[in-house]
Amino acid sequence: MQNPFGNGNNDDNNQNDPNNPTGLPIPPNFATVVNKENGQIRIAKVGPSFTALLFNLWVPIFRSDWYNLLCMAGVEIIAGMALSLGMGQPFQVAYTLGSYGLGIVWMLIYNMMYFKHLFNIGFVPADERSKELLSNANYWKEPKDKNE
């Protein structure tokens, strides 16, 4: 497969990276994580999630990230109720205003929430590039040795 993200005009079609478990070209700001127990592989962006800004609660649905979907929906409902009580406006108006504000918050933190949840359920970085990228963004901390 030809890599659209680099290698210039290299005519060699065998450009698969042996360290990349998917064999697909991955943009430089995306990390790959793998679950060692069942072999599942997830690829996601590290940094702000503009899709979360635009599509809000649809992003965790498309990623099958039910835990973060429930967390985000709960926060949005509570914020909408709090705004409707504080502003004296109908719930729909307050929920819409709160949703726009929370959209910016989700844009900034959703990808971090996604990766941290994956790490909690047994995923680890699949390669050194992903491990370095996740460590630099403070998403991943190397687990301490249990023998110490």
Q: Do 8 and 16 form a contact (C-beta atoms < 8 A)?
A: no
The dihedral through the CA atoms of 30, 47, 37, 70 has a sign that is negative
pLDDT digits (tens, 9 = 90+) for 4-17: 565 555 544 444 55
Q: Is the pTM of this model over 0.85?
A: no
- What is the rounded distance in angstroms from the CA atom of residue 54 to the CA atom of residue 59? 9
pLDDT digits (tens, 9 = 90+) for 66-116: 999 999 999 888 877 777 776 666 666 766 777 788 889 999 999 999 999
